[in-house]
Amino acid sequence: MTALKKATGDVVFKFEPFVLHVLCRELQDAQLLHSVAIDSGFRNSGITVGRGGKITMAVRSTHCLEVPLSHKGRLMVSEEYIEFLVRVANQKMEENI
């Protein structure tokens, strides 16, 4: 809170979701991993094939959080709300694990 109160610009509380990139030898390997990821709740997962034929499967969670806290140095939320955001982010971290 001390650092936040001293901020002169915009401050954003941000929680990034889990991401795992897996390089796959065959497309069917990536498809199998994709199915497992989707069935496990990682709905933002996907497969990309690069120009050189490199097949990458990305396992991505949907557990993101991004909330503005201050604007031009003016605190826009209460300390109680920030404590709430921290609890929510920690819960999302547990879900990632």
The four Cα atoms 84, 90, 95, 97 give a dihedral, to 10 degrees, of 180
Amino acid at 44: N
- For residue 3, what pLDDT is reported? 86
Do 65 and 13 meet the contact criterion of CB atoms below 8 Å apart? yes
For residue 14, how many C-alpha atoms fall within 13 Å in the half-sphere facing its CB?
Answer: 4
Q: Give, in order, the Cα–Cα distances in Å from 12 to each of 60, 71, 73, 82, 83.
A: 22, 9, 12, 11, 14
How high is the mean pLDDT in each 10-residue block of the chain (97 residues)?
A: 88 91 96 95 92 94 89 93 95 84
**Closest by alpha carbon to 65, among 12, 11, 15?**
15
Specify the 3-state DSSP secondary structure of 74: strand
Q: CB 33: neighbour CB atoms within 10 A?
A: 18
- For residue 63, what pLDDT is reported? 81
- For residue 18, what pLDDT is reported? 82
